[in-house]
């Protein structure tokens, strides 16, 4: 149950980043938009959601704040 909730929320976050003007995540958004051109918007949303989940997990494990320069790599 909790996994589905996390999955839905991360997918929704990916959707919002891709479809709305969002400040501070331009590298992630441009990466996902390039992917969307190649593979389609649905796959790009899921890939962005997974990338966001990995970033959040690393933040929790390392105890460090988000670094957009490191996320772009």
Mean pLDDT, range 24-42, rounded to an integer: 88
Q: What contacts 41, CB < 8 A, 6 or more positions away?
A: 18
Residue range 8-19: average pLDDT?
84
pTM, 2 dp: 0.77
8 A C-beta contact, residue 17 and residue 25: yes
Q: How far apart are CA 30 and CA 34, in angstroms?
A: 6
Which residue would you say has higher pLDDT here, 70 or 41? 41
Q: Are 54 and 19 in contact (CB under 8 A)?
A: no
Q: Work out the average pLDDT over 26-40.
A: 90
Which one has a higher pLDDT value, 6 or 35?
Answer: 35
Task: Copy the structure tokens of residue 43.
Answer: 């796959």
What is the overall mean pLDDT for the chain? 83
Residues 28 and 35: their CA atoms lie apart, in Å, by 11
pLDDT of residue 13: 84
């Amino acid at each position: 149950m909790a996994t589905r909730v996390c999955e839905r929320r991360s997918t929704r976050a990916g959707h919002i980043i891709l479809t709305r003007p969002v400040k501070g995540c331009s590298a992630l958004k441009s990466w996902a938009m390039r992917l969307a051109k190649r593979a389609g918007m649905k796959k790009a949303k899921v890939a962005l959601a997974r990338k966001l989940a990995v970033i959040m997990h690393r933040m929790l494990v390392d105890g460090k704040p988000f670094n957009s320069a490191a996320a772009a790599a």
